[in-house]
Amino acid sequence: MKRSYFRLLVLICLSGSPLFADDAIEQAMKKYHKAPQGTDPVCKKVSNGEATADQLSELLKAYEAMAAAKPPKGNQASWDEKNQALISAVKKIQGGDASGVSDYKKAVNCKACHSVHKPD
Ligand code: HEC
């Protein structure tokens, strides 16, 4: 009885998570990488060293959710590496480390990630 309940839970987790996962990636892209016309997306503010503490902590959460998600394309190792680069760059900036901004600019390279992980 206990055992089958556990199995059911595992099944729910396995079948449910990819749905949330894809969503986490899209949300992060729409909210932080792409902005309505005429405004700067959060990623650009970060690259310019102009992001507020609130924006940085929101962004960090979005990247952590993205990192926990399965990439729709490409392999997991590459996905992990790219997301970790984003996460550690944001953490560096939060910690006041000046090299964080240049790390971030490298990590947030749209094309480098899309060419490997974004479905056509
Ligand atoms: C670490 C990887 C990564 C980086 C860096 C990245 N993207 Fe993405 N992006 C993705 C993936 C993966 C998708 C596809 C999501 C899906 O289809 O589930 C995507 C999708 C998108 C989408 C479509 C979202 C939608 O509506 O489905 C936009 C817009 C976008 N990215 C903008 C950007 C911009 C602009 C940048 C650079 C400033 C950027 N992305 C950097 C991984 C990345």
Pocket residues: Cβ below 6 A from ligand 1: 22, 25-26, 29-30, 33-34, 43, 71-72, 82-83, 108-110, 113-114, 117-119
Which has more pLDDT, 120 or 114?
Answer: 114
Report pLDDT digits (tens) over 47-93. Answer: 999 999 999 999 999 999 999 999 999 999 999 999 999 999 999 99
* Residue carrying structure tokens 């507020």: 52
pLDDT of residue 68: 96
Confidence of residue 35 (pLDDT cuts 50, 70, 90): confident
Q: How far apart are CA 67 and CA 50, in angstroms?
A: 24
Q: For residue 28, with 0-12 CB atoms within 10 Å meaning exposed, 13-18 middle and 19 or more buried, which class applies? A: buried
CA dist., res. 45 & res. 95, Å (int): 17
**Nearest-angstrom CA–CA distance, 32 and 119:** 19
Which ligand 1 atom is at minimum distance from the Cα of 108? 5
